[in-house]
Amino acid sequence: MQKLSLSQSLQQKLSPQQIQFIKLLQIPTAELDTRIEEELEINPALEEGMDEDYDQKQDDPFDELDDYKERDDDLDIDSYIRDEDYAGYKMQGDGNYSEEDRDIPLATSSSLIDSLMQQFGYLNLTEEQRIIGLQLIGSIEADGYIRRSIQAIVNDLAFSQNIFTDADEVEAVLHKIQSFDPPGIAARDLQECLLLQLRRKDQNDSCVSLAIRIIEEFFDEFSRKHYDKIQRRLNISDESLKKVVDVIIRLNPKPGSVEGESGNVQYLIADFILTNNNGKLELTLNSKNAPELRISRSFADMLDTYDKSKKQNKSLKETVSFVKQKLDAAKWFIDAIKQRQQTLLRTMNAIVQFQYDFFLTGDESRLRPMILKDIATLIDMDVSTVSRVANSKAIQTEFGIYPLKYFFSEGIATDTGEDVSSREVKNILKELIDAEPKLHPLSDDKLEKILNDRGYNIARRTVAKYREQLNIPVARLRKEL
């Protein structure tokens, strides 16, 4: 005799329009164009262009999606979304990312030239400067260098573009391009490449300022590893020299590519642009996130004609049903795109406000401990929605491009009762290990005691976890003879 059992399950229901919104929300900017092109191909009722009659007033990004629930039978989310699409929902507990998650490269990427062209679009240039800039970007080789002389580029512009300029004007535009990411891009030689990277670092750091002086004044000696000559000329200690050399050798000599990779290495494309306007931070969306879409007027007129027709045979009813379906789908897609824009801005604005001191200064020690739930609470949205935004987006700042995951970290309590970011503790941990005596490296127990003495309430196992995440081996393997 077979046993009978009853079971109940609570399943979340989402309408097709809500599912469409979720799918669009998690798409990074680099992939949005492709998704829109796909929709344009399959839906003749959707067109590119601005619709002046379209009502754009929407206070809540979810209001119109809720209105559509009655139009279609709800779908079971389990039958629609694959397992991997639940990535954002795995963090509902506390909204925190693991360090391993933060180290995974984002898919929000493009080729080096695409990335440079996107950053170039943010510059406020004259038409002549724009043509000069395009010529310079076109002269960048796969490893990130410009090896053609400035005068050769001046000549190229005269012959091929009919632009008559001089070396000073070309160099002025070049300096703007050299401020782009990755640091060191568009350098004309290794010395300039290293200096461009060093000048992005904290100039108040004595190691950085000394490194700049060495590369500027003693580059030949440094290249030949004549460190003793540099040490005598600058009158610095062995320890100071070692720290400075460590700073320099960590720089990237080939900013256009990664070791072992081809010139097609991928770079982040920013979804947001943050500018500092005289001390006031202003956030905008990448323009690619705001495509101009409209409902086809001819398709809408077609429906009106069919509706008014006196013939009501089966074939006509099927045609009317098809036209209505496509018109609804076009409107739903346009609404979902606009709601995507609003949700992205609401989420990013909250992150900027939460981490305002960092975005103002670029000082990593100003980052506050922040989890997904903090932002979800601020904007009154679900943690999973914030997760979908943070998991695949990046922001362009004056200090570089950052994936949003970068700003989420757990907090460590201090003796003063304040919380500091785990990233700050990691930086201190790395500094301690860099400065340790190599004959007697610090054990995790000793590192724990030093951090505790400095006011950070951290356990030995947490020290070990952070050390491993920094890819630093245990003390016995760090010992040098």
- pLDDT, tens only, 182-218: 889 999 999 999 999 998 887 778 888 899 999 999 9
Backbone angles phi and psi of 368, in degrees to 5: -90, 150
| pLDDT tier for residue 170 given thresholds of 50, 70 and 90 | very high
| 263: pLDDT strictly greater than 50 | no
Task: Please say if the pLDDT value at position 262 is more than 60.
Answer: no
CA 405 from centre of chain: 8
CB atoms near residue 271 (< 10 Å): 25
Q: Where is pLDDT greater, at 172 or 56? A: 172
352-405 tens-digit pLDDT: 999 998 898 887 778 888 888 889 999 998 888 888 888 878 888 887 788 888
pLDDT 10s digits, 303-359: 767 666 655 667 777 777 788 888 888 888 988 888 999 999 999 999 999 999 889
Residue 271 sits at the vertex; the CA angle it makes with 411 and 425, to the nearest 5 degrees, is 20
pTM above 0.75, yes or no: no
Nearest to 283 by CA among 126, 125, 387, 393: 393
pLDDT value at residue 90: 27
Q: What percent of the chain has pLDDT over 90?
A: 13
| Residue 186, Ramachandran bin (φ over 0: left; ψ between -120 and 50: alpha; else beta) | left
Minimum mean pLDDT among 49-58, 238-247, 414-423: which range?
Answer: 49-58
pLDDT given for residue 352 in this prediction:
93
Instruction: Using the structure block, give the residue that is written with the tokens 């925190």.
Output: 96
**What is the rounded end-to-end Cα distance, in angstroms, of the chain?**
76
State the Cα–Cα distance between residues 271 and 348, nearest whole angstrom. Answer: 10
**Quick one: average pLDDT of 115-142?**
87
Helix (H) or strand (E) holding 129: helix 127-138
- Contact between 360 and 371 under an 8 Å Cβ cutoff? The reply is no
HSE toward the beta carbon, residue 303, CA cutoff 13 A: 16
Q: State phi, psi for 164 to the nearest 5 degrees.
A: -105, 105
The pLDDT value given to residue 15: 72
The pLDDT value recorded for residue 117 is 86
pLDDT, position 344:
92
Q: Which residue has the higher pLDDT, 180 or 83?
A: 180
State pLDDT tens for residues 32-90. Answer: 888 888 888 888 888 887 665 544 433 333 333 333 333 333 333 233 233 333 333 22
Q: Is the pLDDT of residue 174 over 90?
A: yes
Mean pLDDT calculated for residue range 148-175: 89
Q: Which two tokens stand for residue 192?
A: 């300039």
pLDDT band at 287 (very low <50, low <70, confident <90, very high): confident
**Is residue 170 within 8 Å of 213, Cβ to Cβ?**
no
